[in-house]
A = this chain, B = another copy of it.
Amino acid sequence: MIKKYINPEIAKWKSISKRPVVNLKKIEPLVQKIFDKVRSSGDSAVLQFTKNFDNVDLSNIKVKKSVLVNSKNKVSEEFKQALDVAKKNINKFHLSQITKPNIVETSDGVKCWQEKKPIEKIGIYIPGGSAPLFSTILMLAIPAKLAGCKQITLCTPPNKKGEVDPSILYTAMLCGVSDIFKVGGIQAIAAMTFGTETIPKVYKIFGPGNQYVTVAKQIATSYNVAIDLPAGPSELLVMADSTSNPSYIASDLLSQAEHGEDSQVILVTTYKELLNNVEDEINKQMDSLSRKKIILKSIKSSRFIFFENNSKAISFINQYAPEHYMICVKNEKLFIKSIKNAGSVFIGNYTPESAGDYASGTNHTLPTNGFSKQYSGVNIDSFLKAISFQKINKKGIKIIGPAIEVMADKEGLQAHKNSIKIRLNDL
């Protein structure tokens, strides 16, 4: 039975919007301990933790070139063709995000511009689990390569046999990953933070993971490594009215709910009947799904909400700040232009969330847990940094120099003032 709310008052929105997140502060000491050990002992610590946590005794953590090349014989043609469709679209969309330098003369003789350059060394973490999550490699390695990142390191935990699934290897090879290491969890993040004898240090770490990986990425930032995004459980909010299709919506909510027990799905509607119609469809469709057990648990933190008008629905949605936001309404323009906070938006009855997860071209690494209030999802800029430039001629420094002298003086920075004075004296 899904929790339903009819016209909830604003005072209740915060509690309705609460995500099923856990406090991770208590994990920090363990993570810090593993970081310290990997920092001081390098590969030997990594191997030891792999033995402890993954129950595999590896002698070599780097995937051999021959194994990598051979992966193409271990995946189906159908799979390769599907990857090609996804790759083409992801490539095209991220390519369109590249901006060119734009030189501006802010004052006569003062030229300023910005240029974006690739982050040279990046790391990608791909978690283990019951199925190989190759799609995240598409989402991270394709834009990294487009941006011009030189070294793309991938870490992923080995299975019980000490191997990595061929679909991971093939996708990594297809997308230009430089090196793959069979290392998972905290030790993988620590290894990419400090570098070991085998695993290179990187400047920025991308990718999802469990709560240990989440805390490890947070701790990595205290060692000067950047990260893509703080992580949280995945979520979908669907806004729908009477023009929507209840069975489609149910299928989308279910696809979100199967991600994990902590996934959250929200239905907001201005059409009251939809609350029950979608629930009925969910119950109908759920029975045939392989991950029904997970869905039954995640559905517990889900909410179906009726609002009497669009304006209230929009306000609620913006304060919820959904990771995935699906709009299935007649007046979709109103909802699109009112968006303040969201990760990725899916418009209309034929735009399921799963399209964005795999192949529409948009990125699926997105801000969860309300983070879309302040974070972008991964895009081409995640792999670049902007450098600013200025070039001032004699005329320019004559014009802006006196203002700089006044301000430097006021801030008590006499040497700053002097660097202007010494030039102006010559002109």
| Interface-lining segment among A179-187, A304-312, A350-358 | A350-358
Measured CA separation A81–B404 after assembly (Å): 11
- Whether A130 contacts B373 by the Cβ 8 Å rule is no
Binary flags per residue of A84-96, CB closer than 8 Å to B gives 1, else 0: 0110110011001
- Whether A374 contacts B415 by the Cβ 8 Å rule is no
Measured CA separation A112–B120 after assembly (Å): 28
Interface residues of A in 206-257 (CB under 8 A from B): 218, 221-222, 224-226, 230, 247-248, 251-252, 254-255, 257
| Interface-lining segment among A132-140, A154-162, A270-278 | A132-140
- The interface centre, meaning the residue of A99, A110, A369 with most chain B CB atoms within 10 A of its CB, is A110
Measured CA separation A369–B222 after assembly (Å): 13
Size class of the contact patch on chain A = 35 or more
- Whether A221 contacts B230 by the Cβ 8 Å rule is yes
Q: In whole Å, how far is A88's beta carbon from the nearest beta carbon of chain B?
A: 8
Q: Is A65 an interface residue (CB 8 A)?
A: no
Measured CA separation A406–B222 after assembly (Å): 40
Q: Is A30 an interface residue (CB 8 A)?
A: no
| Interface-lining segment among A52-60, A189-197, A382-390 | A382-390
Copies per complex? 2
- Whether A112 contacts B374 by the Cβ 8 Å rule is no
Nearest B-chain residue to A349, judged by Cβ: B423
Measured CA separation A342–B116 after assembly (Å): 11
- Whether B375 contacts A226 by the Cβ 8 Å rule is yes
Chain B positions within 8 Å of A370 at CB level: 224
Q: Is A264 an interface residue (CB 8 A)?
A: no
The 7 closest A-B pairs by CB, nearest first: A131-B412, A106-B361, A85-B403, A89-B106, A82-B406, A203-B374, A251-B419
Known: A107-B361, A359-B404. 9 other contacts (CB 8 A): A78-B406, A85-B107, A130-B412, A251-B415, A251-B422, A289-B414, A347-B390, A355-B392, A360-B392
Can you list 13 A-B pairs with a CB-CB distance of less than 8 A? A97-B102, A110-B360, A114-B379, A248-B419, A254-B418, A285-B415, A289-B415, A295-B415, A348-B392, A350-B394, A358-B403, A359-B407, A360-B390
Q: Which residues of A contact B (CB under 8 A)?
A: 25, 78-79, 81-83, 85-86, 88-89, 92-93, 96-97, 99, 102, 104, 106-107, 110, 112, 114-115, 117, 119-121, 130-135, 167, 203-204, 218, 221-222, 224-226, 230, 247-248, 251-252, 254-255, 257-259, 285, 288-291, 295, 336, 339-363, 367, 369-377, 379, 381, 384-394, 396-397, 400-404, 406-408, 410-420, 422-423
